Structure 1
Amino acid sequence: MLTVWYNTRCPVCDAGISRQKRRLIEAIKAGRIEFRDINLEPAALAGFGASLEDIRRRLHATDAEGRLLVGADVAIAVWKVTPGEGWLATLFGNPVALPLTRFAYDRFADLLYAWNRRMGRW
Protein backbone atom coordinates (compact mmCIF):
# COMPACT_ATOMS: atom_id res chain seq x y z
CA MET A 1 0.00 0.00 0.00
CA LEU A 2 1.08 3.54 -0.70
CA THR A 3 0.47 5.72 2.37
CA VAL A 4 0.67 9.44 1.65
CA TRP A 5 1.23 11.87 4.52
CA TYR A 6 0.20 15.47 3.93
CA ASN A 7 -0.65 18.71 5.73
CA THR A 8 -4.40 19.38 5.87
CA ARG A 9 -3.74 22.86 7.29
CA CYS A 10 -2.30 23.94 3.93
CA PRO A 11 -5.28 24.84 1.71
CA VAL A 12 -3.35 24.09 -1.50
CA CYS A 13 -2.16 20.70 -0.22
CA ASP A 14 -5.58 19.81 1.15
CA ALA A 15 -7.32 20.73 -2.11
CA GLY A 16 -4.82 18.74 -4.18
CA ILE A 17 -5.18 15.64 -2.02
CA SER A 18 -8.98 16.00 -1.95
CA ARG A 19 -8.93 15.99 -5.77
CA GLN A 20 -6.75 12.88 -5.83
CA LYS A 21 -8.98 11.13 -3.29
CA ARG A 22 -11.99 11.68 -5.55
CA ARG A 23 -10.09 10.16 -8.46
CA LEU A 24 -8.80 7.24 -6.39
CA ILE A 25 -11.96 6.10 -4.61
CA GLU A 26 -11.65 2.51 -5.85
CA ALA A 27 -7.94 2.28 -4.98
CA ILE A 28 -8.67 3.64 -1.50
CA LYS A 29 -11.51 1.14 -0.98
CA ALA A 30 -9.24 -1.69 -2.18
CA GLY A 31 -6.50 -0.63 0.25
CA ARG A 32 -3.93 0.21 -2.43
CA ILE A 33 -3.51 3.83 -1.31
CA GLU A 34 -4.20 5.77 1.85
CA PHE A 35 -4.00 9.49 2.64
CA ARG A 36 -3.21 10.57 6.21
CA ASP A 37 -3.07 13.93 7.95
CA ILE A 38 0.33 14.41 9.55
CA ASN A 39 -1.15 16.89 12.01
CA LEU A 40 -3.08 14.04 13.65
CA GLU A 41 0.02 11.82 13.90
CA PRO A 42 3.00 14.21 14.05
CA ALA A 43 5.58 11.55 14.89
CA ALA A 44 4.37 9.01 12.33
CA LEU A 45 7.54 9.13 10.23
CA ALA A 46 10.03 9.86 13.00
CA GLY A 47 11.53 6.41 12.45
CA PHE A 48 12.61 7.64 9.01
CA GLY A 49 14.06 10.84 10.48
CA ALA A 50 11.21 12.95 9.05
CA SER A 51 9.92 15.67 11.36
CA LEU A 52 6.48 17.25 11.40
CA GLU A 53 7.95 20.34 9.70
CA ASP A 54 9.57 18.19 6.99
CA ILE A 55 6.18 16.72 6.14
CA ARG A 56 4.47 20.09 6.28
CA ARG A 57 7.05 21.31 3.77
CA ARG A 58 6.87 18.38 1.32
CA LEU A 59 4.64 15.37 0.74
CA HIS A 60 5.97 12.16 2.24
CA ALA A 61 4.82 8.59 1.66
CA THR A 62 5.72 5.03 2.43
CA ASP A 63 5.36 2.47 -0.32
CA ALA A 64 4.39 -1.21 -0.19
CA GLU A 65 8.03 -2.17 0.49
CA GLY A 66 8.23 0.24 3.44
CA ARG A 67 10.48 2.74 1.65
CA LEU A 68 10.13 6.47 2.28
CA LEU A 69 9.27 8.68 -0.71
CA VAL A 70 9.55 12.46 -0.51
CA GLY A 71 8.36 15.40 -2.59
CA ALA A 72 8.10 14.89 -6.33
CA ASP A 73 8.60 11.15 -5.91
CA VAL A 74 5.32 11.03 -3.96
CA ALA A 75 3.48 12.96 -6.68
CA ILE A 76 4.85 10.56 -9.30
CA ALA A 77 3.81 7.51 -7.25
CA VAL A 78 0.29 8.92 -6.87
CA TRP A 79 0.03 9.74 -10.59
CA LYS A 80 1.04 6.15 -11.42
CA VAL A 81 -2.03 4.78 -9.64
CA THR A 82 -4.46 7.55 -10.62
CA PRO A 83 -6.67 6.72 -13.62
CA GLY A 84 -5.78 8.97 -16.55
CA GLU A 85 -2.66 10.41 -14.89
CA GLY A 86 -0.07 7.73 -15.60
CA TRP A 87 1.22 9.86 -18.45
CA LEU A 88 2.20 12.54 -15.91
CA ALA A 89 4.31 9.98 -14.04
CA THR A 90 5.95 8.93 -17.29
CA LEU A 91 6.60 12.51 -18.43
CA PHE A 92 7.89 13.95 -15.15
CA GLY A 93 9.37 10.77 -13.68
CA ASN A 94 11.58 9.64 -16.54
CA PRO A 95 15.35 9.65 -15.87
CA VAL A 96 15.94 12.79 -17.95
CA ALA A 97 13.12 14.89 -16.48
CA LEU A 98 13.23 13.63 -12.88
CA PRO A 99 16.03 15.91 -11.60
CA LEU A 100 14.22 18.98 -12.99
CA THR A 101 10.89 17.71 -11.64
CA ARG A 102 12.38 17.32 -8.17
CA PHE A 103 14.00 20.76 -8.33
CA ALA A 104 10.78 22.46 -9.46
CA TYR A 105 8.69 20.62 -6.86
CA ASP A 106 11.11 21.54 -4.06
CA ARG A 107 11.14 25.24 -5.00
CA PHE A 108 7.33 25.35 -5.17
CA ALA A 109 7.11 23.48 -1.85
CA ASP A 110 9.50 25.98 -0.24
CA LEU A 111 7.37 28.91 -1.41
CA LEU A 112 4.13 27.25 -0.30
CA TYR A 113 5.61 26.39 3.10
CA ALA A 114 6.78 29.98 3.63
CA TRP A 115 3.35 31.32 2.60
CA ASN A 116 1.57 28.96 4.99
CA ARG A 117 3.86 30.00 7.86
CA ARG A 118 3.24 33.70 7.12
CA MET A 119 -0.50 33.02 7.16
CA GLY A 120 -0.22 31.23 10.52
CA ARG A 121 -1.44 27.84 9.28
CA TRP A 122 0.44 25.84 11.87
Structure 2
Amino acid sequence: MTEWQSVKTRFQGLSTRELLDQAEQARREKGRLLYEMGERHYMKLRSEGHRPEIESVLEQDILIYGALSRINEMEVEAAQKQCASCRTPLEPGAKFCGKCGTSVPRETDETKIACTTCHTPQRPEQGFCTCCGSEMRSRV
Protein backbone atom coordinates (compact mmCIF):
# COMPACT_ATOMS: atom_id res chain seq x y z
CA MET A 1 0.00 0.00 0.00
CA THR A 2 1.29 3.42 -0.92
CA GLU A 3 1.67 5.74 2.03
CA TRP A 4 0.19 9.19 1.77
CA GLN A 5 3.41 10.95 2.75
CA SER A 6 5.36 9.27 -0.06
CA VAL A 7 2.60 10.27 -2.51
CA LYS A 8 2.80 13.90 -1.42
CA THR A 9 6.59 13.84 -1.80
CA ARG A 10 6.36 12.18 -5.21
CA PHE A 11 4.15 14.95 -6.58
CA GLN A 12 6.07 17.93 -5.17
CA GLY A 13 7.42 20.20 -7.87
CA LEU A 14 5.35 18.73 -10.72
CA SER A 15 3.39 21.00 -13.05
CA THR A 16 -0.39 20.83 -13.40
CA ARG A 17 0.02 19.02 -16.74
CA GLU A 18 2.36 16.45 -15.19
CA LEU A 19 -0.03 15.94 -12.27
CA LEU A 20 -2.96 15.46 -14.68
CA ASP A 21 -0.86 12.95 -16.64
CA GLN A 22 -0.05 11.06 -13.42
CA ALA A 23 -3.74 11.03 -12.45
CA GLU A 24 -4.76 9.78 -15.91
CA GLN A 25 -2.11 7.07 -15.83
CA ALA A 26 -3.37 5.95 -12.40
CA ARG A 27 -7.00 5.94 -13.69
CA ARG A 28 -6.01 3.73 -16.62
CA GLU A 29 -4.12 1.33 -14.37
CA LYS A 30 -7.08 1.22 -11.96
CA GLY A 31 -9.39 0.43 -14.88
CA ARG A 32 -7.09 -2.35 -16.07
CA LEU A 33 -6.93 -3.85 -12.57
CA LEU A 34 -10.71 -3.66 -12.14
CA TYR A 35 -11.21 -5.25 -15.54
CA GLU A 36 -8.90 -8.14 -14.64
CA MET A 37 -10.61 -8.56 -11.27
CA GLY A 38 -14.02 -8.56 -12.93
CA GLU A 39 -12.90 -11.04 -15.57
CA ARG A 40 -11.65 -13.44 -12.88
CA HIS A 41 -14.88 -13.06 -10.90
CA TYR A 42 -16.96 -13.62 -14.05
CA MET A 43 -15.02 -16.78 -14.91
CA LYS A 44 -15.45 -18.06 -11.34
CA LEU A 45 -19.20 -17.42 -11.37
CA ARG A 46 -19.51 -19.06 -14.77
CA SER A 47 -17.55 -22.14 -13.73
CA GLU A 48 -19.69 -22.46 -10.60
CA GLY A 49 -22.89 -22.35 -12.68
CA HIS A 50 -24.27 -18.97 -11.52
CA ARG A 51 -25.96 -18.26 -14.86
CA PRO A 52 -28.52 -15.62 -13.67
CA GLU A 53 -25.71 -13.47 -12.25
CA ILE A 54 -23.68 -13.51 -15.46
CA GLU A 55 -26.50 -13.49 -18.04
CA SER A 56 -25.93 -9.88 -19.21
CA VAL A 57 -22.17 -10.45 -19.64
CA LEU A 58 -22.81 -13.73 -21.46
CA GLU A 59 -25.16 -11.87 -23.83
CA GLN A 60 -22.31 -9.50 -24.69
CA ASP A 61 -19.95 -12.46 -25.21
CA ILE A 62 -22.47 -13.87 -27.69
CA LEU A 63 -22.75 -10.54 -29.55
CA ILE A 64 -18.95 -10.26 -29.78
CA TYR A 65 -18.71 -13.87 -30.96
CA GLY A 66 -21.47 -13.32 -33.54
CA ALA A 67 -19.81 -10.26 -35.05
CA LEU A 68 -16.38 -11.91 -35.19
CA SER A 69 -17.89 -15.11 -36.64
CA ARG A 70 -19.56 -13.12 -39.41
CA ILE A 71 -16.24 -11.39 -40.20
CA ASN A 72 -14.62 -14.84 -40.42
CA GLU A 73 -17.39 -16.08 -42.74
CA MET A 74 -16.91 -13.05 -44.96
CA GLU A 75 -13.15 -13.67 -45.11
CA VAL A 76 -13.72 -17.33 -45.99
CA GLU A 77 -16.22 -16.33 -48.68
CA ALA A 78 -13.72 -13.84 -50.10
CA ALA A 79 -11.00 -16.51 -50.15
CA GLN A 80 -13.35 -18.91 -51.95
CA LYS A 81 -13.85 -16.64 -54.94
CA GLN A 82 -11.78 -19.13 -56.93
CA CYS A 83 -12.45 -22.82 -57.40
CA ALA A 84 -10.08 -24.91 -55.28
CA SER A 85 -9.63 -27.38 -58.20
CA CYS A 86 -9.30 -25.28 -61.35
CA ARG A 87 -8.86 -21.74 -59.96
CA THR A 88 -11.76 -20.42 -62.05
CA PRO A 89 -13.44 -17.36 -60.50
CA LEU A 90 -16.65 -18.34 -58.72
CA GLU A 91 -19.95 -16.53 -58.84
CA PRO A 92 -21.05 -15.03 -55.49
CA GLY A 93 -22.99 -17.66 -53.53
CA ALA A 94 -22.07 -20.46 -55.97
CA LYS A 95 -22.38 -24.00 -54.60
CA PHE A 96 -20.45 -25.52 -57.51
CA CYS A 97 -17.76 -24.32 -59.92
CA GLY A 98 -19.24 -23.32 -63.27
CA LYS A 99 -16.25 -24.72 -65.18
CA CYS A 100 -15.37 -28.05 -63.53
CA GLY A 101 -18.38 -28.70 -61.27
CA THR A 102 -16.37 -28.97 -58.05
CA SER A 103 -18.49 -28.41 -54.98
CA VAL A 104 -17.77 -25.21 -53.04
CA PRO A 105 -17.60 -26.32 -49.41
CA ARG A 106 -19.74 -24.42 -46.93
CA GLU A 107 -19.89 -24.98 -43.21
CA THR A 108 -23.43 -24.68 -41.92
CA ASP A 109 -24.88 -24.41 -38.43
CA GLU A 110 -26.72 -27.70 -39.08
CA THR A 111 -23.40 -29.56 -38.87
CA LYS A 112 -22.68 -28.05 -35.46
CA ILE A 113 -23.94 -28.58 -31.92
CA ALA A 114 -25.15 -25.91 -29.51
CA CYS A 115 -23.00 -24.94 -26.53
CA THR A 116 -24.79 -25.86 -23.31
CA THR A 117 -23.95 -22.45 -21.79
CA CYS A 118 -24.37 -19.80 -24.51
CA HIS A 119 -26.15 -21.91 -27.17
CA THR A 120 -23.90 -20.77 -30.03
CA PRO A 121 -23.21 -23.35 -32.77
CA GLN A 122 -19.91 -25.18 -32.29
CA ARG A 123 -18.08 -27.94 -34.16
CA PRO A 124 -18.78 -31.34 -32.55
CA GLU A 125 -15.08 -32.22 -32.16
CA GLN A 126 -14.32 -29.12 -30.06
CA GLY A 127 -13.63 -29.59 -26.37
CA PHE A 128 -14.49 -26.00 -25.45
CA CYS A 129 -16.90 -23.37 -26.78
CA THR A 130 -15.19 -20.76 -28.95
CA CYS A 131 -17.66 -18.12 -27.73
CA CYS A 132 -17.77 -18.48 -23.94
CA GLY A 133 -15.03 -21.02 -23.20
CA SER A 134 -17.32 -23.54 -21.51
CA GLU A 135 -16.50 -27.22 -21.77
CA MET A 136 -18.52 -28.78 -24.59
CA ARG A 137 -19.22 -32.19 -23.13
CA SER A 138 -22.66 -32.58 -21.60
CA ARG A 139 -23.13 -31.29 -18.08
CA VAL A 140 -24.21 -33.58 -15.25
Please, what TM-score do these two structures have when normalized by structure 1? 0.23
Higher strand share: 1
Structure number with bigger Rg: 2
What TM-score, normalized to structure 2? 0.21
